[in-house]
Structure 1
Amino acid sequence: MKNVLIITSYFPPETGAASNRIFHLAEGLKDHQFNVSVLTPLPNYPTGQIFKDYKGKFKHSATENGILIHRLWIYASNSKNKLLRLIAMLSYSFSLVWFFMWHKIPKTVIVQSPPLLVAFTCMLCLKSKKRHLVLNVSDLWPIAGLELGAFKKNFSYKMLEHIERFNYKRANLVLGQSEEILSHVTSIFPEKNTFLYRNYPDFESPKLNYNPSNGKLKIVYAGLLGIAQGIYKLCQELDYSTIEFHIYGSGAEQVKIETFIVNHPELPIIYHGQVTRNELHEVLLQYDITIIPLLKRIYGSVPSKIFEYAKLGLPMLYFGGGEGETIIETHELGWIAEAGNYNELNSVITSIKSDMISESLRQKIIEKGKKEFDFKSQLGRLKNII
């Protein structure tokens, strides 16, 4: 049985695409007869505070569902202050170095990126002729940060570019969640081994029992309420004459969204808070369509929600541009609207009629997802090269 270590900054019980992605990868490799262990910080995302069950601990190790999970100390913070966020990343990096010094590390290591500095620490400390390093790239940083307005092209940005290239160079294999990510990597290192790894989750598709809305179209968003998703802006720009808007999740914009709802009681916006992933899968099925927005088109980004909702058979309205838009259109998973164009978004919503959202459409989406993104076939190919 081959040993593999996965190093990530996010893992359940934390919620969100990043933790779900790595969890499914760990479970999938375990099911393919790998002896899997995970290195991750003490749970703190997205609140920026260590979860109650882990407070006061420097390290916590336990075997969960056959996977050994080491949770290391981190200075937890979700502050917008760049210095505090840097300290948080560095604290986890220091914990990783300490762990590397006192533990035997398997020959095969999968490292999640971003965060760039955490990946850099792993690539710097673990590279050896006998070790096989796999870099799992879910977003292109620092490019994504530049497009979101978080960075400016200055000395700090140049340093991050050097770190990014160092990480790619040291990796024996790069996994990418999008074709754009892999194209970017091979534009820098043409001979680099790459593998397209879509985040198609491994759970049983639900039995469909859809009852269409008799009145307004019920649109749901579920996920991180962060700056990149732009849910607060969406609340301000939607035309509510024919829709209800339901929101699940938490994040940096949560307070602003809640305040907007309180100040506009006439608008049919309902914030449901945060629920577990299993609960979410149940409640999502009562809605007509889901919206997947990005405030701006981000090169390399393909929201994992696309693949999860395909598994659920939930029709999607994609409002983020780029490769995600192409996937929705090519595989007929729903509707698209030009990123940032709220007039077009409202026009597309108005064109969606209840008779379009049939149970047969949902079954078609499930079948498309299985055919195009099947998790087990991806893992079957991946296990032979890591």
Structure 2
Amino acid sequence: MSKNNSKRILFLTHYFPPESNAPASRVYEMTKRWVAAGHDVTVLTCAPNVPNGIVYEGYKNKFRQTELIDGINVIRVWSYMAANKGTLRRTLNYLTYMLSAIFWGLFVKKPDVIIATSPQFFCGWAGVWLKRLRRVPFILEIRDIWPETVVAIGAIKNRNLLRLFEWLEIKMYKASDIIVTVGEGYRQKLLERNVSSKKIVIVSNGADLNFFKPSDPDSQLLESIGIKDKFICSFIGTVGMCSGLKVIVDAAKLLSQKGYSELVFLVVGDGAVRQELQAESEKLKLSNIVFTGRRPKIEMPKFIASSDVCLAHLQKKDLFKTVIPSKIFEAAAMAKPIVLGVEGFAAKLLNEAKAGICIEPENYVELADALILLYEDPNRKTQYGQSGYSYVLKNFNRDKLAKDYLNTIECLVGMGK
């Protein structure tokens, strides 16, 4: 690509590798492809600390530090460290990142476009202010409808505070030039808030088909965590308040009572409710749940490959009917059947792909029954895996999605010239 066509992109995100949650993965997967296409990309983010609010080894929570990751210029700025739970400290975490991002964003070479992604809400506002101060086009990426999400899980209940946030939400939408969102459900939510349809572009989540691909189970990995020769249902991701994962404890108890000792849950990841779930599991003396805690992203394909079934699950809330968890695409890319406890658009996608079984969220009986069905019918399990793999291969390749996003950026920048 010639220098004349190269774009200078400033991307604001609260999360970035080595953090391995869905927002971090999405930004990394997009930006590394834009760099490969010849663009100059700077990511403005925090010191890696999710989910415990403890800075990862090899990093410090300094006012500013830089590194180069796969050609991406990464600037890490200071923020108040807080675990992924509670309200006051997390809000301070978000606010301090916003202020640091606005400040250091003024010293980056003037970009052609600024992108800010949610979560979190205040990251979006950092983008709004930098748009005004740097006088460049601004793309707001919506991966979460905020503050509606925190209301749904009961994290904020003060009505005056919520009204303020709702007002700021609408102002943020109006300040953006383009809103990129990850699915039709979010598009509908934005339309309900009187956002113009001409302003909304959908670029869905997907899978890196070079990283997530069908492979054999890792027997050494399974032996190291003590669940070799078991039928494994894995939940891989943030064990947060929205996940509704008490359903795993209840289903494990039921499976144990029914005598299905060979059916085991594997929970890979950490978050606000992981310790609570693990303590309850230990209290009930359930030997059919294994918690690994946070593991490096490089190991995620090994965990998926070593699973018989992958679980995607959220609380039973109307808001989550708009969500399509990214772990669906990663599991399908590795030809693994999915048990899905998410209603709405995600369930529609799974049924369309014929990639697994939909259950009612937080219904532990249905979860246990789905696992028994797949355990006792290996052909069905294989068919779901193969069908999901074909569907993702055709529709959710990260390479194509990154090109689609880049087309949106180039059109916006071209209009501004």
Report how far residue 266 of structure 1 moved. 4.5
Written as runs of structure 1 = structure 2, the 5 A alignment for 1:177-326 is 177-187=182-192, 188-204=194-210, 205-209=212-216, 217-238=231-252, 239-240=254-255, 241=258, 242=260, 243-297=263-317, 298-326=320-348
Q: Where does residue 33 of structure 2 map in the other structure?
A: 28
Q: Residues 360 and 345 of structure 1: is their aligned pair in 2 closer, same or farther, counting only changes over 3 Å?
A: closer
Give CA-to-partner distance per residue, 1:312-345, whole Å, 9 cap, x none. 1111000121211111111111110012333333
Per-residue deviation, 1:76:
0.7
Tell whether the 8 Å contact from 1:116 to 1:141 is kept in structure 2 after alignment. yes
- Tell me which of 392, 396, 404 is aligned to 1:373: 396
User: Is this contact kept in 2: 1:28–1:379, CA < 8 A?
Assistant: yes
**Equivalent runs, 1:53-92 vs 2, <5 Å:** 53-55=58-60, 57-78=62-83, 80-92=85-97
Q: Tell me which amino acid in the other structure corresponds to 1:254.
A: R
Q: Deviations over 1:189-238 (max 9, x none)?
A: 22442221122122424344479x99864211111111111223421344
Is the counterpart of residue 14 in structure 1 residue 19 in structure 2? Answer: yes
Q: Distance in 1 between matches of 2:127 and 2:118?
A: 10
Match of 1:97 in 2: 102
Tell me how far 1:81 sits from its aligned partner.
Answer: 3.8
Distance 2:76 2:229 in 1: 48
Q: State the secondary structure of the residue aligned to 1:136.
A: strand
Q: Which residue identity lines up with residue 19 of structure 1 in the other structure? A: A
Partner of 1:362: 385
The 1:331/1:359 distance shift into structure 2, 3 A limit, reads closer
For the pair 1:118 / 2:123, whether they are aligned, the reply is: yes
The whole-number CA distance in structure 2 between the counterparts of 1:30 and 1:53 is: 25
Higher mean displacement: 133-142 or 230-239: 230-239
Asked if the contact 1:288–1:357 (Cα under 8 Å) also holds between the matched residues in 2, the reply is no
2:315 is matched by which residue type in structure 1? L
Q: Is 1:46 matched up with 2:68?
A: no
- Contact 1:48–1:76 under 8 Å retained in 2: yes
Q: Indicate the RMSD between aligned Cα atoms, in angstroms.
A: 2.4
Q: Distance in 2 between matches of 1:269 and 1:137?
A: 34
Kept after mapping to 2: 8 A contact 1:127/1:170: no
Q: TM-score scaled to structure 2, two decimals?
A: 0.85
Q: Runs of 5+ in structure 1 lacking a partner?
A: none
Shift of 1:24: 0.5
More displaced 10-residue stretch of structure 1: 44-53 or 228-237: 228-237
Q: For residues 355-381 of structure 1, what are the alpha-carbon distances to aligned partners after superposition, in whole Å with 9 as ceiling and x for unaligned?
A: 235555433322210112122222222
Deviation at 1:350, TM superposition (A): 2.9
Using the alignment, how far apart are the partners of 1:214 and 1:131 within structure 2?
A: 55
**C-alpha spacing 1:118/1:130, structure 2 compared with 1 (3 Å):** closer
Q: Distance in 2 between matches of 1:200 and 1:180?
A: 16
Higher helix proportion (structure 1 or 2): 2
Which residue is equivalent to 2:7? 2
Q: How far does the alpha carbon of each residue in 1:159-204 deviate from its partner, in whole angstroms, 9 at most, with x for none? A: 1111111111111111111211112223312244222112212242
Structure 1 residues 287-317: Cα deviation after superposition (integer angstroms, max 9, x where no partner):
2101111122324322111111121111100
1:82: how far off?
A: 2.1
Q: Secondary structure at the match of 1:54?
A: coil
State the AA in 1 paired with 2:152.
E
Distance 1:134 1:227, change over 3 A: same
> Aligned equivalents of 1:276 and 1:81: distance in 2?
25
Residue 170 of structure 1, aligned match among 169, 172, 175? 175
Offset, 1:128: 6.9
Contact kept in structure 2, 1:127 and 1:133, CA below 8 Å:
no
Equivalent residues of 1:107, 1:130 under 8 A apart: no
CA distance in 2, matches of 1:330, 1:207: 21
Residue 345 of structure 1 aligns with which residue? 367
- Are 1:217 and 1:244, in contact at CA under 8 Å, matched by a contact in 2? yes
Q: Distance in 2 between matches of 1:287 and 1:42?
A: 32
User: What SS does the corresponding residue of 1:102 show, helix, strand or coil?
Assistant: coil
Q: C-alpha separation between the residues in 2 aligned to 1:43 and 1:132? A: 28
Cα distance in 2 between the residues matched to 1:262 and 1:15: 27
In 2: Cα distance, 1:350 partner to 1:140 partner: 35
Residue pair 1:318, 1:335 contacting (<8 A) in 2 also: yes
Aligned equivalents of 2:206 and 2:305: distance in 1? 18
SS at match of 2:408: coil
